[in-house]
Amino acid sequence: MLYATWPDGEPGCAGAEPALVRSRRRSETGTEGVHLVRRVVCPGSFDPVTNGHLDIISRASRLYDEVVVAVLINKNKQSLFTVDERADMITEVTREYGNITVDKFYGLTVDYCRKQRIPVIVRGLRAVSDYEYELQMAQMNHRIAGVETLFMATNPEYAFLSSSLMKEVVKFGGDISGLVPDSVHERLMERLQGS
Ligand code: PNS
């Protein structure tokens, strides 16, 4: 059993250890010990998840104890897949990593972080064009809530990938094999080509 308690104040506040949540794990023999659980969140639209997202999620899962993939419920944006469909696809393709939790959230990412006691956001950077917007968000998130953002350089193999581009290519019959997991490829074909 895992009991999570926040060490010193809220995420990112002075005195708190970034990315660390102190928790008490009861072993199978009944002995208790203190274990530091490092949790991060990978927030996004994931409409749908691509191999570029998975590159970042899988690398984060090797660096941290727990990675929460949080799917944004965006009522102002028309999406191809419902938020439940997007979350289900992510759950299916990340099962093998063993330390991923998939969740949905509405509103500010930092409010989600506060509620879930997650002090760090992980975001992938594909190119310089991502940098300006991501930097602005990271600075705002730090300013309003003290939440840190860690950037991970996307594998160059996936640097050109985006969910919107995937949808456009599939819609007009282009080949996206190897760019999204097979199960996601099938869902895209079904939804966009009716096959
Ligand atoms: O996959 P995306 O669309 O690039 O993800 C963007 C996302 C969801 C991380 C970003 O839009 C976000 O955090 N939205 C929630 C509202 C919010 O917190 N906005 C940023 C304020 S600085």
What are the structural domains of the chain?
A: 2-193 (3.40.50.620)
Instruction: Answer whether 73 contacts ligand 1 (Cβ < 6 A).
Output: no
Strand partners, 123: 151
Ligand 1 centroid vs 144 CA: distance in angstroms? 14
Q: How confident is the model at residue 194 (pLDDT cuts 50, 70, 90)?
A: confident
Q: How confident is the model at residue 15 (pLDDT cuts 50, 70, 90)?
A: very low
Helices 83-94 and 182-193, axial angle in degrees (round to 10): 150
Residue 132 CA to residue 138 CA, distance in Å, equals: 10
User: What is the pLDDT averaged over residues 156-183?
Assistant: 96
Which H or E run contains 143? helix 128-145
Number of neighbours of residue 12 by Cβ within 10 angstroms: 20
The whole-model pTM stands at: 0.86
Provide the annotated active-site residues: 53, 77, 126, 163
Give the tens place of pLDDT for each residue, 70-108.
999 999 999 999 999 999 999 999 999 999 999 999 999
Closest C-alpha residue for ligand 1 atom 5: 44
